[in-house]
Amino acid sequence: MQDSSGTQLSRRSLAEQVTDSLIDYILAEGLSEGDSLPSSAELTERYGVSRTVIREALAALGGRGVLTRSQGRESVVATPGASDLVKLLQFRIHREDVSLSNILDARIGLEVTGARRAAELATPEQVTAIREELEALIASKKEARYHDADIRLHRAIATASANPLIDLILDALGDFLMDFRVKATRNRKSRGESLDPMIEQHRKIVLAIEARDPDAAAEAMRLHLEASRAEIA
């Protein structure tokens, strides 16, 4: 790689290439969270670029949540979390003009699969946790507590699916889905309707998971999410 003028790559293009190369390096070396990258001087020599290019590449990885700084160390490997994915999704959703319908389609695909896998794979402890979240949902008296319990229940089911991507993506969509939940609930209230039908839908999902019935769990989740979607149609 070279970062001089003329026919050679621009500094921006070089920084993007180094960013990609550093990701490959982290994966190839099997670096874990908390491990250090080589120093900027070593990276400059390794990739044959200027320190400015290295700084830009490291900053880009920091922005993605792949790197962080730790006392006494320049760059430390980190694990991007839901908050990092949220930033990316929010940017892309607004830039690509993604509709709420698109988001709900993605949610249905994820959560129906998650419910099916939870019925197949949940540990006894996870089934107990799902039941406890359902009981908290049933006991909730205020709207804010209902939404909190609703989120925790869906999160417990996603966790029990043993698919960390379902967990991560649903967490990243959390802000969008909370807006949807609030709107759907208020629409029901404006019509003088209670939350009892929604609670019953959740109960059917949980009962199917407890019964280890993947088809029933998936169908119960699909019907629940379609019913929720209809609240804001």
Describe the chain by its helix, strand, coil percentages, rounded to 5: 70, 5, 25
Domains of the chain, first to last: 11-77 (1.10.10.10), 84-230 (1.20.120.530)
Q: What is the pLDDT of residue 208?
A: 98
For residues 164-203, one letter each, b for 16 or more C-beta atoms within 10 angstroms of the residue's C-beta and e for the rest, the string is eebbbbbbbbbebbeebbeebbeeeeeeeeebeebbebbe
Q: What is the pLDDT of residue 82?
A: 66
- Asked if 82 contacts 171 with a C-beta cutoff of 8 angstroms, the reply is yes
Return averaged pLDDT per consecutive 10 residues of the chain, 233 residues in all: 50 84 90 90 92 90 83 77 72 76 91 98 98 96 90 96 91 85 87 90 98 98 94 78
> Which two tokens mark 130?
């799902």
Which contiguous run of DSSP H or E holds residue 30? Answer: none
Q: Which residues pair with 76 in a beta bridge?
A: 36, 68
Q: Does the CA dihedral 158-160-161-163 come out positive or negative?
A: positive
> Which two tokens mark 188?
């029901």
Q: What is the pLDDT of residue 144?
A: 87
Residue 169's alpha-carbon distances to 10, 54, 88, 109, in angstroms, are 34, 30, 11, 12
